[in-house]
Structure 1
Amino acid sequence: MADDKAKRGGTDRRQVAAGQGYEVNYFARKHGISRDQAENLIKRVGNDREKLNAAAEKLKK
């Protein structure tokens, strides 16, 4: 799914755009994990931001 940069708001922020490198980098930095770990989480869990945040927290423990 392409990220339409003209649309801004809450609905688009519920997902991590895996195809956008800057979003993957931001997610990885936010949780203190590597970019590879972030990409693997997105592949395994999907792009739902809430589920990814929870999975990243479990990964850090």
Structure 2
Amino acid sequence: MSTRGSKTERRSVNSSQEYEVRYLAEKLGVSSQAIGGAKRATGSNDRKVIEKYIKDKNKAN
């Protein structure tokens, strides 16, 4: 039995796949540009790291 995609792929956000960025942006209630900024600020493509960064940033404001 084969599954599509790997767990590693599901954990990361690929900037060249606009639907991934748009999904995460809608989920967190921010713009796609904010997702790109979070990726640059954290230096990570990991979805959990980006979500934590944005949530912490929103708490500070």
Which structure has the highest helix share of the two?
Answer: 2
1:59 partner amino acid: K
Structure whose alpha-carbon radius of gyration is higher: 2
Q: What is the aligned length?
A: 55
2:49 partner amino acid: K
**1:3-60 deviations in Å (ceiling 9; x for gaps):** xxxx513221111111111111111111011111111111221201121111011122
Structure 1: stretches of 5+ with no match in the other structure:
1-6
Structure 2: stretches of 5+ with no match in the other structure:
none
Secondary structure of 1:39's counterpart equals helix
Structure 1: 4+ residue segments shifted above 2 A:
none
Counting only pairs closer than 5 Å after superposition, residues 1-61 of structure 1 correspond to structure 2 as 7-45=4-42, 46-61=44-59
Answer yes or no: is the 8 Å Cα contact 1:15–1:48 preserved in 2: yes
Aligned alpha-carbon RMSD (Å): 1.3
Give the TM-score, by structure 2 length. 0.76
